Structure 1
């Protein structure tokens, strides 16, 4: 399926076909977001409408606080890929500016009418317009389109939200984060030359990727996980950190791919973080480090074997194939 992406200004709207749309910022596409999108797609199918996602870029936070560093769970390009793989027909990205933020609720509603929205799905806490005065109730103060409001999606600890998931990932709780996302968290980058200690000194060759800018990184430590190479998932032991045994001064992300012997330099590799094995440790000597790495590596496949359903869901979202080594 080919998804059409429209990048527009709020006051320069193209002619679009009638649509059923989910609206929001959608950082992370977690389980709450999935309910919005599923509802929009369901209504589109029932009433022969285009299914759509309406979102905004850049992040409103960066418009009002341009000097603040703001990391995200997904890049804009990754959001587009997720929308496509979730079965959305059209993605409408409205440029977020101060002028756009100053729209009254009524003006915002008029914009949605011009977009040819016939059915709109939003979260219960969606706000918009001048000082965030717009909300689901003000969306309903028009009769051009129907509004469906999705209630809070919760687990045993409360509301599922992007900020909560971000906090879990920063704490290394990637397994818990995956339970809220519905898939395994990942980061990607180009494989670059590292210090080559993994292969030459330790016997554990690693692929080092450029640290992605603006993306949330897991807490420092060693993780069980996977690496996506050319559309296929491979088991991997992944390290995020400074390699304190060697006194590195910059953070690195590197993975030891199991049962893999290809040259990866220059390729784009995506690392998926399944569970955290341990924090970073400074070892007294190389023998201690090697012994620990052997133990860490042995933890990878058993951890993946427990998450087959989650791995398949993750592979589907990213259009990846399962490695025979993982699934068996």
Structure 2
């Protein structure tokens, strides 16, 4: 007889790694962005788990299925895997399973998928899922099929209706579009938090320091991470345990004939060595497009205006 109990949050990188002998309530999805719509579903998951003494469990996948099945190398994601894990950990769920998505996994029949993932590994007693959820080989099985499997294997299926999903009117696709257009305000509203970039500070050419605007160059290892539209943004970060604001340029530095895209941050009231450190940049708003200036002096004058505009935005918050 399986035990029904509560334990601390566990994170597993494969379904086969999860061998806890507890019943669970499960929701399934890619959860890119972990936006306000996702959080509504997760809240429902957790409330159901608490009411029925089950484990609130999320099953997600990496890489994104489109990257594997459609070989969509151009698909950029709102979150890196580490970012998504960090956000999901704060939601209050009990179990996060990140299963590797492969072509072999995609070829599991609906019956094999249900038996292996939901019944054998996750011990599902309840599955909370969207009305349009499809699964199994070629994604031919529907929520009606899942309900039939539930009757066979002893788990309940709770449907999230079209009305509930449309009520939120948020999608990862809409957020990606907003970011691609540089519309940070809309993206942040949909996300429910500031869009973030995580990376390591590397050495640049040092031009910024020569014009009194030293910058930290951010290198992001994950090539699938979505980078917003080129331009100048107001940002913040936690450096040496304190909140520091600044402005960030994404682009090619056309004034100095740059050929490689870079992400450079000028922090206000902070001039300590950050080389080699991993930091998180939270993006607050967009100031302007990247521009080419006729001289370094003109660039410097514009940067001074940008700083004034950035500080005005920060002070108005």
Relative to the length of structure 1, the TM-score reads: 0.85
Distance 1:59 1:88 in 2: 21
1:110 aligns with 2:115: yes
Distance 2:107 2:172 in 1: 25
Measure how far apart 1:60 and its partner are. Answer: 1.4
Measure how far apart 1:41 and its partner are. Answer: 0.8
1:275 aligns with 2:285: yes
1:124 to 112, 116, 131: 131
Q: Deviations over 1:2-48 (max 9, x none)?
A: 531122257x8634411122210111101111111111111111122
Alignment of 1:1-328 (within 5 A): 3-9=9-15, 14-66=19-71, 68-111=73-116, 112-114=118-120, 115-141=122-148, 142-143=150-151, 144-152=154-162, 153-154=165-166, 159-200=169-210, 202-212=211-221, 213-230=223-240, 232-305=242-315
SS at match of 2:13: strand
SS at match of 1:140: helix
Measure how far apart 1:80 and its partner are. Answer: 1.5
Distance 1:13 1:2 in 2: 14
Distance 2:197 2:49 in 1: 32
Contact between 2:66 and 2:72, CA under 8 Å: does it hold in 1? no
Q: Deviations over 1:141-162 (max 9, x none)?
A: 223222223345447xx83111
Contact between 1:20 and 1:50, CA under 8 Å: does it hold in 2? yes
Distance 1:4 1:15 in 2: 10
Distance 2:291 2:282 in 1: 22
Contact between 1:73 and 1:166, CA under 8 Å: does it hold in 2? yes
Q: 1:54 to 1:208 in 2, by over 3 A?
A: same
Q: 1:231 to 1:43 in 2, by over 3 A?
A: farther
Measure how far apart 1:123 and its partner are. Answer: 2.5
Contact between 2:252 and 2:261, CA under 8 Å: does it hold in 1? yes
**Unmatched segments (≥5 aa) in structure 2:** 1-6
**CA-based RMSD:** 2.2
Q: 1:123 to 1:304 in 2, by over 3 A?
A: farther
Distance 1:94 1:231 in 2: 34
SS at match of 1:108: helix
Distance 1:31 1:256 in 2: 30
Contact between 1:229 and 1:270, CA under 8 Å: does it hold in 2? no
Q: 1:196 to 1:97 in 2, by over 3 A?
A: same
